[in-house]
Amino acid sequence: MYDLWIAPFADYAFMRRALVACLALSVGCAPVGVFLLLRRMSLLGDALSHAVLPGAAVGFLLGGLALPAMGLGGLVAGMAVAVLSGLATRLTALREDANFAAFYLISLALGVMIISTHGSTVDLMHVLFGSVLAVDAASLTLIAAIASVTLAGFALLYRPLVAECFDPGFLRAAGGAGALVHLAFLALVVLNLVAGFQALGTLMAVGLMMLPAAAARMWARHLPGLIGLAGLIALASGYVGLVLSFRFELPSGPAIVLVAGAAYLLSLLFGRVGGALRR
């Protein structure tokens, strides 16, 4: 048991850094995923995860695989897509989901085009799928900082976010700044996707955000328990995925997301709150 579950982290520093990165991602991504789920915006996370790609690509052109350049570029691109989609929704007859889909497809194609024409296939694969085993001290610092900012943001936004999830009419009647709260929440989503793509790549970052939240929804009835359980499932998925990737030489990001997917499928069957067998 020691050789299987503990030795990889005791013997190798890169495994310890990867585990700490998964812990920080779990802390930040879990509440974001839960609120995306409750607000019926689950696919928005996927759209924004693709939207950061052109910014990361421009950062790659300017600074190579340097973390600050790619992270800042991804943040700017993600926020630009979120703001432009919101403006298009307010100024046209198209719904928000259609605008997000359109802008994320444009962003995805643009990012792949930039990296393909100015880089190599290896560079493209690194940006799209990441490598949590390659997380260095600078990346770890950024991921931990984003997790801290996320917790502080939710401490400030928790009550209006809950009100907007369950009774947006009450929030408007009480004079709550619904549009500002929505924009601040989108900023937290983009920040955590920027943290996630450093470890899991732009295509996998949303997996650790949504799958644990969806799995936890099958077990918990109350919001605090839902957030806590989603964080635990995300951390357990990261731990088991890292062990599997180390033992069987699997790509780490997909292994983590597949473990989270297995937790989701088991929760669909056995969950005590709306699971298939329970119903």
> Considering the entire predicted model, what is its pTM?
0.89
> Chain centroid to CA 268: how far?
21
Q: Classify residue 89 by burial, with Cβ atoms within 10 Å: 0-12, 13-18, 19+.
A: middle
pLDDT per position as a tens digit, 201-247:
766 788 899 999 999 999 998 999 999 999 999 999 999 999 999 99
**pLDDT band of 22, cuts 50, 70, 90:** very high
Q: Is the pLDDT of residue 171 over 70?
A: no
pLDDT per position as a tens digit, 107-129:
888 888 887 787 666 666 666 66
The pLDDT assigned to 279 comes to 76
Q: 246 in a domain, yes or no?
A: yes
The CA distances from residue 101 to 47, 65, 95, 217, in Å, are: 6, 28, 10, 25
pLDDT per position as a tens digit, 132-147:
887 888 888 989 999 9
Q: Is the pLDDT of residue 176 over 70?
A: no
**Domain span at residue 147?**
2-270
Overall residue count recorded for the chain in this entry: 279
pLDDT per position as a tens digit, 75-86:
889 888 888 888
Q: 106 in a domain, yes or no?
A: yes
Q: How far apart are CA 125 and CA 104, in angstroms?
A: 19
The pLDDT assigned to 39 comes to 86
The pLDDT assigned to 86 comes to 80
pLDDT per position as a tens digit, 38-70:
988 887 888 888 888 888 888 877 876 666 777
* Residue 198 in tokens: 């450093």
Sign of the four-CA dihedral 221, 226, 232, 233:
positive
Q: 275 in a domain, yes or no?
A: no
Q: Is the pLDDT of residue 98 over 70?
A: yes
The pLDDT assigned to 74 comes to 86
- Residue 20: which of 188, 150, 192, 199 has the closest Cα? 199
Q: 276 in a domain, yes or no?
A: no
Q: 279 in a domain, yes or no?
A: no
Q: How far apart are CA 257 and CA 46, in angstroms?
A: 14
Write the CB contacts of 223 (distance below 8 Å, at least 6 apart in sequence).
Answer: 34, 38, 162
Q: 10 in a domain, yes or no?
A: yes
Number of domains in the chain: 1
The pLDDT assigned to 155 comes to 93
Residue in this structure with the two tokens 């694969």, named with its chain if needed: 125
Three-class DSSP labels, 201-268: CCCCCCHHHHHHHHHHHCCCCCHHHHHHHHHHHHHHHHHHHHHHHHHHCCCHHHHHHHHHHHHHHHHH
The pLDDT assigned to 31 comes to 93
Q: 204 in a domain, yes or no?
A: yes
The pLDDT assigned to 78 comes to 87
**pLDDT band of 93, cuts 50, 70, 90:** confident
Q: How many CB atoms lie within 10 A of CB 77?
A: 26
Mean pLDDT over each residue of the chain, to the nearest integer: 86
* Residue 98 in tokens: 């259609």
Q: 278 in a domain, yes or no?
A: no
Residue in this structure with the two tokens 């879990």, named with its chain if needed: 30
- Residue 161: which of 141, 183, 143 has the closest Cα? 183
The pLDDT assigned to 262 comes to 97
242: domain CATH number is: 1.10.3470.10
Write the CB contacts of 156 (distance below 8 Å, at least 6 apart in sequence).
Answer: none
